[in-house]
Structure 1
Amino acid sequence: MSAAQSQTQVVKTRPLNMQDYKTLSLAALGGALEFYDFIIYVFFSLTIGHLFFPHNMPDWLTQVQTFGIFAAGYLARPFGGIIMAHFGDLFGRKRMFTFSILMMSVPTLLIGCLPTYDSIGIAAPLLLLLMRVCQGAAVGGEIPGAWTFVAEHVPTKRVGFACGTLTAGLVVGILIGSIVSTLIHKYVSDENMLIWGWRLPFLLGGVFGICSMYLRRWLKETPIFAEMQQRKNLDKNVPVVTVLKEHKHSVVISMLLTWVLSAGIMVVILLAPTYLQKVFSVDPVVALQANSLAIIGVALGCMLFGTLADKFGFAKVLIVGCAYCIVAVGVFYFSLFNHMDYLFITYPLAGFGVGVIGCFAFFMVRGFPPTVRFSGLSFSFNMAYAIAGGLTPLMMSLLTSLVSVKAHPYYVMILFGLGVLIGIYLLDEKKQNISGELK
């Protein structure tokens, strides 16, 4: 037995050790800092819209174009993810895991240095669009790469814990963005915000990128990829082609799970603060404070549900977690109409329910063989999120305005109901398309 094979066998059977915790900590922290870079745009969208488009443009059109540029980041995710996953399956997880940070931090830093519309005219929004496309391509490789990386490092029986911890780290990136936004808006005047204040979070994001690159230099290639490389067992075809030919079942289930995940993150976490302010006239500071507690709830839920998936199996945890989320989200939204004083209780509990998404990667990384794992996960996750994540804000805005202010909870509850149905379908482990091990 070769050294790489022996190392892989040890990975499958041993308990977690200090190196595992170090790998998880560095990966989660790096993921949080990188996701901050991607999401910080939305916290300063109003200011960006004012600075990067003509002043005589109607407000609604400015907002449409501003969020259109934001959505471009989501639409770029599949392309960046597929390309980076292709090379990750052929040349190594660590290389792409590190390269994704460079692709994210440089555009973020450049956004903080961009001249505005008053200086260079139409070139300003075009350059902003280019930077967002680069960011989207980077995050498209980061998230699937991170899940693959940590899953292939830890023992087989702790894959759920590893993926849940990594997902929690990504969620914390949203919290960091929320905190940074709050501090800047609190201590920078409106006048200075338009002059230089809006640049601070993007320049800070560039610093975060440098820190993340430094952190990831301590990470090692996964034992599973090292063994495949030594045995020359890498996929000789284009990995994503193999995925589409031989693993359609895993692709479909992974895409459906991603749709459910996008509903939880986009609606309950990212859109809820604005929803609270517009529909219920909640003070922005109060909405942000409650949102921060909800984000913490999501992070805790990710780690718990990921750990439970290791112990009880993915399907059972998916059913129970999604069912709880339906109840918690319903209580949160519908209590706003009559019991607003419960906001700081119901919102964090709803966030905790959304944390069931922390176990989703447990299925995704096990649904594809190692030779095409990165590509399979990246294609499924990014294609679904590009569509769902890109369209959800617009769809929620239209449904709330034209149909009902209760569109938000109904949409989330229906999607997590789909999660329950997926769990019931997967109770038959044969349908999970896994052997029970990351082999």
Structure 2
Amino acid sequence: MGVRVVVASVIGNALEWYDFTVYAFLATIIGHRFFPHSGPTVALLQTFAVFGVGFVARPLGGLAIGLFGDRKGRKPALLLTIGLMAAGTGLIGALPDYATIGVWAPLLLVVARALQGFSAGGEWGGSASFLVEWAPARRRGLYGSFHPGSIFLGQLIGTAVADLLVVLLGRADMEAWGWRVPFLLGALIGPLGLLARRRIGETPVFIAARTDTAPARRLSAGKLLFAFCFVSVQSVAIYIYLSYFPTFLQHDAGWTAREALTSTVLATIATGCAVVGSGALSDRIGRKPVLLFSCLVFLLLSYPLVWLILHGATHALAVLVQCALGANCGLFIGSMTAALVEMFPTRSRLTGLSTSYNLASMVFGGFAPFIATGLIAATGAAISVTYYVILGAVVSLPAVLAFRETAGQPLD
């Protein structure tokens, strides 16, 4: 059951991040196809703004699907999200561009991203809860880490597919029609996800909670705000250091596309390894020490490490720096998943963690590439990209310090 539960849980999250990675990697081409009358920088800003639209829809999806999952079960919620997610991904691949249907093209692109965001909002809380609720009590950190670990599986597959197509098709064909292929391939994951999830039963924790006749505890605004602040730094760091960095390294550090891609692939691998190690470590020493260390690294070392990349570091050292930043992202989210699930009672878990996590993703993560591009344009200094990461750490640090250890405690 363990392997089947993990596969059924992570396949949707992998699809979500496959799509986000492909979109970020192909942002320049998408800008040309859907915003052809804008200059290169404006088109890129518009493309990343559409990227952020999906994150505006995430809290709505998190709330709606969270309520549905808390009432009807984790399994029905996961079946719903994987279907919606695949539909949104396939729609992007099939959309006519601006030259074909004019202004309807960017409008429909917004609709597709909103559909993806709505489904992703429910997917995160549903699959995280499903994994942790199925996990043995003393291995919830490890099981929970497989959830964010699937992020980097999706990123690696997305990067590999996009890179392979560039090599096979060349720039001209990639810009003409090849950019559609990764999105159409992503849509094919939907039926596989539905099949895997239909074969898994409901979590014992949810079944037990459904038969409990005691009044359910209400979600407080204070608990939601606490969880929102708790996860904010990872919302910024992941989207800056992994999703945005391929663009940043090319536009602002002078790297070639291949150099930026290779470095980001290595950083993604480092992040994925750190995720699982972090989850296992948090089962042994607790969630809080791991989370606190990672948050302090973001706060104190983001500026000097990115400065090294921009000012004189050898290429090899710069790659190692990006890998270190990625690994620190993994250190935080590998312990965060179980901690966030454990914060909320079972009968309101999906609603609480989905709402708080997705609000943080919308506010801090969804527009991170847009904000980073805008900061650099406004200041004329590429290093200003780190200011946003430092802000995220400042928001999260008080919550991490106030967090009461949950490792080894029974789920409510």
- TM-score higher than 0.5: yes
Contact 1:318 1:419 in 2 (8 A): no
Residue pairs, 1:17-416, within 5 angstroms: 19-53=1-35, 55-231=36-212, 242-243=218-219, 247-325=220-298, 329-330=302-303, 332-336=305-309, 337-341=311-315, 342-355=317-330, 356-403=332-379, 404-416=381-393
Match of 1:99, SS? helix
The verdict on how the C-alpha distance between 1:435 and 1:301 changes in structure 2, with shifts beyond 3 A counting, is closer
213-222 or 280-289, which moves further after superposition?
A: 213-222
Provide Cα deviations, 1:54-85, integer angstroms capped at 9, x if missing partner: x4444444333322221111100011111001
TM superposition score normalised by structure 1: 0.86
Aligned letter for 1:409?
A: T
Match of 1:406, SS? helix
Contact 2:267 2:323 in 1 (8 A): yes
Provide Cα deviations, 1:196-238, integer angstroms capped at 9, x if missing partner: 2111011101112222222222222110111223446685xxx
Report deviation, 1:416: 3.4
Structure-2 separation of matches of 1:316 and 1:28: 26
Match of 2:382, SS? coil
Structure-1 separation of matches of 2:103 and 2:122: 30
Contact 2:303 2:383 in 1 (8 A): no
Structure-1 separation of matches of 2:57 and 2:258: 32
Count the aligned residue pairs: 408
Match of 1:115, SS? coil
Report deviation, 1:269: 1.0
143-152 or 56-65, which moves further after superposition?
A: 56-65
Identity of aligned residues (%): 30
Aligned letter for 2:95?
A: L
Structure-1 separation of matches of 2:268 and 2:214: 41
Contact 2:230 2:397 in 1 (8 A): no
The verdict on how the C-alpha distance between 1:24 and 1:50 changes in structure 2, with shifts beyond 3 A counting, is same
Provide Cα deviations, 1:397-423, integer angstroms capped at 9, x if missing partner: 232233332222343245335545433
> Which of the pair has the greater relative contact order for Cα pairs under 8 Å at 6+ separation?
2
Aligned counterpart, 1:422: 399
Report deviation, 1:38: 4.1
120-129 or 137-146, which moves further after superposition?
A: 120-129
Structure-1 separation of matches of 2:88 and 2:139: 35
Contact 1:34 1:101 in 2 (8 A): no
Match of 1:282, SS? coil
Provide Cα deviations, 1:157-204, integer angstroms capped at 9, x if missing partner: 211111111111122212211111111112113332233211101110
Report deviation, 1:49: 2.1
TM superposition score normalised by structure 2: 0.91
Structure-1 separation of matches of 2:384 and 2:176: 38
The verdict on how the C-alpha distance between 1:373 and 1:184 changes in structure 2, with shifts beyond 3 A counting, is same
Contact 2:283 2:408 in 1 (8 A): no
Structure-2 separation of matches of 1:363 and 1:393: 27
Contact 2:9 2:128 in 1 (8 A): no
Aligned letter for 1:35?
A: W
Aligned letter for 2:401?
A: I
Contact 1:151 1:159 in 2 (8 A): yes
| Unmatched segments (≥5 aa) in structure 1 | 1-18
Provide Cα deviations, 1:339-379, integer angstroms capped at 9, x if missing partner: 22312322212211111222112221111110100000011
Structure-2 separation of matches of 1:234 and 1:192: 60
Structure-2 separation of matches of 1:419 and 1:47: 35
Contact 1:37 1:105 in 2 (8 A): no
Provide Cα deviations, 1:1-31, integer angstroms capped at 9, x if missing partner: xxxxxxxxxxxxxxxxxx2233123322442
Report deviation, 1:140: 0.5
Match of 2:368, SS? helix
34-43 or 217-226, which moves further after superposition?
A: 34-43
Report deviation, 1:103: 0.3
Contact 1:365 1:377 in 2 (8 A): yes
Provide Cα deviations, 1:316-342, integer angstroms capped at 9, x if missing partner: 221223334556645641322122231
44-53 or 254-263, which moves further after superposition?
A: 44-53
